[in-house]
Structure 1
C-alpha cells in the first residue's frame, strides 16, 4: 500500500486536480505508544536547545569578548562559526538519518552538542571557542531536520497537524527566546552559563531518545558508498555562502578581497554541487525532490518565512538598543510578545487546519504577517511599549498560520523514503532565508541611514529658521556653559537627534520592505496544488 500511495502522490503532483490517497487502516489508525511519546518529547527538547543556541550569545558578545580577550571584530566569529556549521550539516542530515537511523543520529548529535557546550564554557581563548562553537553548530544542525521527518513517519495523519504546531512553536519561539535568556543568564550568573545550561537537559535528551525512540533501522550499506566529493562541494558551497552573508556587511562586501574570494568559492562550489548531485545515482542530497511542485513552492515559502522571522529578530533588538537605549532584559519584554501570541495562535491554527483549505490558511498567515511588519513601519523616536506591542502581536499570531500549512504542503505529500532528505532541504531553505534576510537588511540599514541623514542634514542648515530656533533653545538650556561651549554642545546634541531620526526612518523603510515581501509572496499561491486533507497529512506513510 505504501508504494501505491507514493505512486498516486507522484501522479497527483503532475496533474491538475487533487486526488485522494488511500492508505491501509493499520497505518491510518496506528497508535503512538507511551515510550514513543517519551522519545519524541526528548527530541523536542533537543531541537529547542539547538535552535535556542543560534541566538543565545547574541546579547552577550561583549561579555564573551572581555572573557576571551578578543577584539570587537573577532568576537563575531562566535556567532558566525555556529551558523556556518549548522547550514552545512542540515542538508546532509537526510542521508545521515538513513545511514545511521534516526535514533543513532539524534543521540550522537545531541551527545556531541552537549559535549561541545561544556567545551565552549571551558574555552581558554577565541580560537578554541570558535572551534567548539563550530562543532556545536554541526551537531545541533543535525538534530533540527530529524524531528520533521519523524512527524510524517511516526504519527498518524490525525495527529500530524497538532504535532507540527508543537514543533513549529519550538523552532520559531526559540530564536526569539535566545537573546532574552542569554542576556538574563549573563547578567545574573556569567556568560559561561549560556553553555553550561545545556548539560543536564542534553544528557536527559540523549537518554530519552536512546531508550524510547526506535522508528527505523540503520542502512549501514550507505556508509560503503559515501560520496566524499559531493560532501566537499556542499561544504564549500554552503560554508562559503554563509560566510559571505555573515561577514559581508562588516567587510564592505565586494570592497573586501576576502569576501570576493569566498563569493567566487561559493559560486564554484555551487555549480559543482548541483552538477554532482543531479547526475549521481546515489547522491548525498537528492535535489530531485524539487520535482514535486508542492515541495518546491513550500521551500520557497519556507525561505520567505525565514526572511521574516530572523530579520525581525535582528531589526527590533538593534532598534531598541540603538534608538531607545534599552538593555537585553528590557528588549526581552518587547520581543516576548511575538512568542506569546504565537503560542496563543496554536489554539486557533490547529482546529482550523482540519476544516480550512491549507492554501487559504497560508495566504491568510502571509497577509497577516505582512500587515504586522507594515504596522511596525510607523515608529517614531518616542514610540513606547504599546507602539511595538500590536505589530508584534499580529506577527506572532500569524506565524502558526504560516508554519503549519507550509510544512504540511511541502513534506506531507512526499513518499516516506523521501521525507528525511526533503526535511533537510526544507529546513535549509528557512535558515538561508534568515541569513540572506539579515545580510540584506544590515546592508540596507547602513545605506538608508546615510541617505536619510544626508536629507535631514540639508534641512538643518544655518539658513533654516527652525534649525536656528532649535539651536537657540538648546543653548538657552545650557546657559551655565560659556558661549562657545554652549553652541558646540547644542550642535552636538542636534547632530545626535538627526542621526537618531535617520535610524528611525531607516528602520521604518525596512519594516515596510519586509511587509511588501510577504504581500508579494501571495503571488506564488496559484502554484500550490490543492491537497486533500488525507493526502496533506498522510503523505509520509
Structure 2
C-alpha cells in the first residue's frame, strides 16, 4: 500500500526528465501522473467487491504481482504513449490494494492493538505521498528516472510471495460474479474517470471554455447520478452508500475528503512553488519538502502514547487545528523562501497529518461491523483521493486566477510616477548600456510576474486553511467509538 501511494507523487518532481527522455511535451508528460490517478480512483471503490469475489489473499497477491510487472514495463517504456498506458495499468493494480490494508487492520487486530494498527496504516497513507517528491527527486538526480519504477520490483515480489503464505482472513466466492452489478461498474468508471479527467485537465484548458472538458463534465454528472440511483436500488451494490446513514462514517468520510485536500494540495503547491519561483531542481525540491515526512514519523510515538489515554476525537481536532495553523504559517511566503523558511510550517503539517489521519481511520471504520468493512473501506479511501483530486484542481485554478489578478494590480503601480521603478530602470539602463527598451522592461516584467505568483501561492494556502478551520469545528459532532470485538476469521 505504501508503494502504491508513493507512486502517485514519485514522478511529480521528475516529469521534466521523463518528458525529455521520451521526447514528449509538457501537455503529454502530465499524463504520466494523470493516467495513474484516474485508474487508481476508479478501482478503489471496486476493491471491496473484488476482495469478496477473489478473497483478500489472492486479490492482494495478484495485484502485487501485476503492479510489479507494470512497474517494470514503465521503466522500459519506449515512448510517452507506452508510458501512459503502463502507468494506468500500474495505478489500477495499485489502487485495489489500498482499501484492503485498511480493512485487514480491523480484522486482524482488536482493542488497543486496533488503535495502533490504524495509526500505522493511516500514517503510511499520508506519509507515502509526502515522501514521493523527495524520493523521486533523489533517485532522478543520483541514478535515472527509470529507477523510479525499478525500486518497486524487490518489495513487490516479496509481498506477492509472502501474502499467500501469511494472510488468510476470508474465502473466495466466485458465485458473486453471476449477480454482479456490471452496469453499476460501467457507470462508476464513467463517473470517476471523467470526473478525474475534468479536475486534472480543467485548470489547464480554461474549464468549460474547452469542448472536451464540457463533454467529460457532463458524462461525469450523468454517470454519477446513474451510479447513485443504481446503487440504492440494486440487491448487491458495489459500494455501500447506506453506510453513510451512520453519523460517524458520514462525518469521517467528509473529514477524509478534507484531509485529502490538505494532503495532496500542499504536496502539489510546495514543489510547484520551489520549481517555478525558486527554479529548484528535482533533488533540491525533494530536500526542501523532506522535513514534512520527518516530523510525521516523529509524531508517531506521540500519537501512540495519546491514543489509549485521550478521546480520539480531541486528538483529531488537535490535528485538524494544527493543519489549519500550518497553512497560516505558509501564507507569509516570499519569493526567496527555501528549505529553512519552509521548515516550521512543514513541521506543523507533518505532525498534523499523523494526529489527523490515524484517528479518522479508527473513528470512521472502527465502529462498523466486520461484514460492512470491505465495501465501506473502499468508499472511505475514495473520499480521500477524491478530495485530493478536487483540491489540486481548485488550487491550480486559484493560482492561475489570483496570479493574473495580482499581476494586473502590481502593474497598475508601475508607471512614470513610481519613483522606485524609475530608479530601477535608470540603474538597469546604465548597467546594460544603450539597448532596446525591451531588454530593460523584460526583467521588470519577470520580477512583477514572480511576485504575483508568490502572492497567489499565499492566497491558495489561506483557502486551504479555511477548509480546515471549518472542519475542525465539526469534530464534536462525531460520536466516541468503542471498537467491537473482532470475531474469528471463519465468520468472514
Superposition TM-score tier, normalisation by shorter sequence:
over 0.9
Q: Which position in structure 1 is the counterpart of 2:216? A: 262
Alignment correspondent of 2:21? 67
Counterpart secondary structure, 1:530: coil
Q: What CA distance in whole angstroms lies between the structure 1 residues aligned with 2:487 and 2:310?
A: 21
- Counterpart Cα distance in 2 of 1:112 and 1:105: 10
The residue aligned with 1:529 is: 479
- The reply to whether residue 219 of structure 1 matches residue 170 of structure 2 is no
1:157 maps to which of 108, 111, 122: 111
Asked if 2 retains the 8 angstrom alpha-carbon contact of 1:152 and 1:540, the reply is no
Q: Give structure 1 stretches of 5+ with no counterpart.
A: 1-46
For 1:509, the equivalent position in structure 2 comes to 459
For 2:155 and 2:208, locate their aligned partners in 1 and report how far apart those are by CA, in whole Å: 43
Tell me if the contact between 1:415 and 1:540 (Cα under 8 Å) persists in the aligned partners: no
Deviation, 1:196, is: 1.4
Task: Give the distance between the partners of 2:390 and 2:280, measured in 1 at CA.
Answer: 26
8 Å CA contact retained: 2:137, 2:285? no
Which among 449, 469, 484 is matched to residue 435 of structure 2? Answer: 484
CA shift for structure 1 position 527: 2.3
Find the aligned partners of 1:300 and 1:540 in 2 and give their Cα distance.
28
> Match for residue 140 of structure 1?
94
Number of equivalenced pairs: 488
Matched, 1:409 2:359: no
Question: What aligned pairs does 1:1-12 form with structure 2 within 5 A after superposition?
Answer: none
Deviation at 1:379, TM superposition (A): 1.4
Note the C-alpha offset of 1:538.
4.7
Q: Given that residues 414 and 421 in structure 2 are in contact (C-alpha distance below 8 angstroms), is that contact kept between their aligned partners in structure 1?
A: yes
C-alpha separation in 1, matches of 2:449 and 2:485: 55
8 A Cα contact 1:412 1:539, kept in partner: no
Aligned equivalent of 1:328 = 282
Deviations 1:21-63 (A, max 9, x none): xxxxxxxxxxxxxxxxxxxxxxxxxx11101111111122222
SS at match of 1:281: coil
Is 1:304 equivalent to 2:255 in the alignment?
no
Contact 2:407–2:452 (8 Å) recurs in 1: yes
* 1:337 counterpart residue number: 291
Match for 2:445 among 470, 485, 495?
A: 495
- What per-residue deviation string (whole Å, max 9, x for no partner) do you get for residues 41-98 of structure 1? xxxxxx1110111111112222222232222211211111110000000000011111
* Offset of residue 540 of structure 1: 8.2
Secondary structure of 2:96's partner? Answer: helix
* Higher gyration radius (CA): 1
Q: Tell me the distance in 2 between the aligned counterparts of 1:356 and 1:537.
A: 19
Alignment counterpart, residue 171 of structure 1, candidates 122, 125, 129: 125
**Does the aligned pair in 2 maintain the 1:374–1:514 contact within 8 Å?**
no
Match of 1:437 among 388, 391, 394: 391
Q: Note the 1:29-48 alignment, pairs <5 A.
A: 47-48=1-2
- Corresponding residue for residue 16 of structure 1: none
CA-CA distance at 1:537 after TM superposition: 6.6
Matches within 5 A, 1:193-212: 193-212=147-166
* Structure 2 unaligned blocks of 5 or more: none
For normalisation by structure 1, the TM-score amounts to 0.88
2:308 matched residue in structure 1? 354
Structure 2 counterpart of 1:3:
none
Partner of 1:424: 378
Deviation for aligned residue 1:539: 7.2
1:519 aligns with 2:469: yes
Shift of 1:263: 0.4
Does the CA contact (< 8 Å) of 1:412 and 1:540 recur in 2? no
SS in 1 for 2:278: coil
Shift of the 131–514 alpha-carbon distance from structure 1 to 2, 3 Å rule, reads same
- Which range moves more in the overlay, 442-451 or 522-531? 522-531
Alignment partners' CA distance in 2, 1:405 and 1:188: 37
Candidates 295, 312, 315, aligned match of 2:249? 295
Change (3 A) 1:540 1:186: farther
Q: Distance in 2 between matches of 1:482 and 1:240?
A: 55
Instruction: Give me the CA root mean square deviation.
Output: 1.5
